[in-house]
Each structure stands twice: as structure tokens, then as C-alpha cells.
Amino acid sequence: MKNMLILAAALCLCLSFAVGETGSWGQINQSLERGEDWQRFVEAPSDFQLGEVTPLEGSDGLYIGNWGDYPSIDGSTVCVPLAMELARQWLDLPEEDLNGFVSFSTTPVAYDRLTAGAANPMVTIVSRSVMMDDTHPIDIVIGTGPNADERRAAEEAGVELVMVPVCYDAFVFLVNSENPVDGLTAEEIRGIYSGSIFLWSEVGGTEDIIVPYQRPHGSGSQTAMEEMVMDGYALSAAEPNYISDGMADLIAQVGNYDGGLNAIGYSYLYYVDALYKSGSLKVLSVDGAAPSPENLRSGAYPYTVYYYAVYAKGNETAERFVNWLVSDEGQACVGQAGYVTLR
């Protein structure tokens, strides 16, 4: 049974975006409330619902929530709005509760929890004074796919991961808006990040030295960089001050007018467009293709990626929920959250 002080502290933290000092909310600077034209697409609202709540022993008006038939979800920062939309559709939670209910820990921690059968411990429904059962292992990770280390850890733990694509996005390269370069080839990007291209003038820019930022190993964007973009090339070790702990840090560094004019970094298009906006950034085309929805679905943009719903094989609640998520009804919810749908 949980300690009342821990619950009270968790409820207070989730009252505002201050909860974002850790986890995914610290990497988001946009309001994610539903739009005025929001629609409900779910036609069978009884399929996935939370269970009953029970009073917290020794407390005054505090409760523990049972997950019932609704999956406990953790995941990547870039998929926070998707999880919020799913909760809106099925649970009809007030907007002020969604920051606490969607309490993502970011990609590497989410996969560690999934493999270990661990819970997402800080999920709350503040308006109802509820903290969700923190002994219930997470059912689904929504976000970028697991990297090689995470896949190996799951295999060693005897956990078979089921990975189901739920939408498209673009892995994009970012420069300062004042940089004259508008696009790069895939070969030029690998040259920059392997250390064989040093100057912007080698790719159509100024005579300045290129400052290439990276993310820490294990982050979703670093996995894409290592496993998709470099394509057999060795990724040069970045100096410590050129490694951005969070995507928000990277955007701030590249977008900084004084220090970021010669910088380049990478992220996901949805994150740049919807979660952490900066007017001082420019998204580059790659091999002449912009990361438009049409180019993602056709494959014309070379760094098209999926976001996945990932669960341990044998988890029936997760399997049912993910099957719904890729149905026409589920994809309508994905599209309403602003993602590029599979169809």
C-alpha cells in the first residue's frame, strides 16, 4: 500500500507543467489541449475502461486506481499527444487530468520497464484524487522502436517483443534558420557525422566549421541516427558539450542565434512541429525530398520512420488495444492527434 505522502506529492506535481522537470513533460513547451473541432471516434466506449478505485488506507479522500481493461502505457516524448488522445477517446478524462495520466518516462526508461515487467509509478488522475496502481506493469510502449541493446536485453530476459507500426514520422535534420543551406544528401549527412566533412562550404554553405550535435545513446533519435542514417559508417564520438540530454536542449542549441548558426542536429518532425516549437530552426530536405506526408507514405523521403506500439507477447490486453489502434477507428484517432496515419 502506498504512503499517503508520496501520493499527495505526486498529485501536486501533476497539477501543472512543473511535473516536466523529469520525464517527457520537461521536453515539451506547447499546450496540448484538444482542439475546438475535436471529434469522438470510439463507438464502443466499454471495451477499454479503468477499473474501480479503492480508498487509500489511512488517507482522507485519496484513492488507488485499478487499471481494469485499459493498458498502462509508457513511451517516447514524441508520442505523448497520441497517448493523450487515446485517453480522451476511451476515458473521457478532463483536459486538466491528462498531464498526470500521460506520464511518459522517455524511450530508454520505458523499454527498461517493459522488459523488467515494471510499473509506470507516477500516473495520476488529479481531479479524482486517484493515483493509479503502481504495482501494475506497463502493458505498452508507444514511440520509437527499441535499439539493439534494448532488443538484446528483452531477449536475455525471455521477453518476446511484438512491434506494431501505428503511424509515420520523419527523422529530420535541423539547422539554424540563418544558415543558407536548405538541404543535404544522405551521403553528406554521413560525411558530417563521420568526420569527413568539416566545413559548411563543402555542402554549399559558408566557410565556417560545422558543429554537429548528437543525442545520448539509448534515446530514440540516437537509435535512428546510429541504425538508420549512418548505414555502416562509424559515427564520430561527440565532444561532451555537443551531446544534448533532451530534444529540447538540442533545439535550443541549434536555434541559438549566437552559438547555433553553424550547428546541425536531428529530431523527429512531429516533435519540432508540435511539441517544442522554435522560430529559429530550419528543417532540411534530404536527397531533394522534403518530409511531407506524401513523401513519407511513398518512401520518397529517405528517413521515414514508424512509431510503434510495443508489448510483450502474451499480453492479451495490449494485443487487443493495439489491434484496435491500427483499425480504421484507431487510425482516425491517430490522425486527429496530428500524426501521419498508416493509410
Q: Quote the CA–CA distance of 198 and 16 in Å, as a whole number.
A: 43
Q: Does a structural domain hold residue 35?
A: no
Do 275 and 26 form a contact (C-beta atoms < 8 A)? Answer: no
Element counts in the chain: helices (H) and strands (E): 12, 13
- 204 located within any domain: yes
pLDDT, tens digit, for every residue of 145-154?
999 999 999 9
Name the percent of the chain lying above pLDDT 90: 74
Residue 138 and residue 11 share a domain? yes
Domain identity same for 201 and 148: no
User: What is the torsion angle, in degrees rounded to the nearest 10, for the CA atoms of residue 147, residue 150, residue 156 and residue 157?
Assistant: -140
Same domain for 184 and 75? no
Same domain, 93 and 238: no
Which CATH number covers residue 284? 3.40.190.10
**Is residue 23 in a domain?**
no
**226 and 146 in one domain?**
no
Q: Which domain holds residue 55?
A: 4-15+46-166+310-336
* Same domain assignment for residues 161 and 184: no
Of residues 57 and 184, more confidence is placed in 184
Q: In sequence order, what DSSP letters do the residues of 227-261 get, joined into one string? A: IIISTTSPPPPPPGGGB-SSHHHHHHHHH-TTTST
Q: Using one digit for the tens of pLDDT, what is the confidence trace for 282-295?
A: 999 999 999 999 99
pLDDT of residue 258: 60
pLDDT at 257: 55
Average pLDDT on 153-174 reads 98
Contacts of 151 (CB under 8 A, 6+ apart): 161
Pairwise pLDDT comparison (219 vs 81), residue with the higher score: 81
- Say if pTM beats, i.e. exceeds, 0.85: yes
Number of domains in the chain: 2
Same domain as 227, residue 187: yes
Distance CA 23, CA 100 (A): 12
CA atoms of 273 and 131, how far apart (whole Å)? 32
* Per-residue confidence (pLDDT) for residue 259, from 0 to 100: 60
Beta strands of the chain (E only): which ranges?
53-55, 63-65, 73-75, 124-125, 130-132, 140-143, 161-176, 183-184, 211-212, 263-268, 281-283, 285-286, 304-312
Q: Mean pLDDT check: name the lowest of 12-26, 53-67, 152-166, 308-322.
A: 12-26
- Looking at the structure, do residues 69 and 121 belong to the same domain, yes or no? yes
The H-or-E segment that residue 328 falls in is: helix 328-336
C-alpha separations of 148 from 113, 166, 218, 234, 267 in Å: 16, 21, 9, 16, 19
* 262 in the same domain as 183: yes
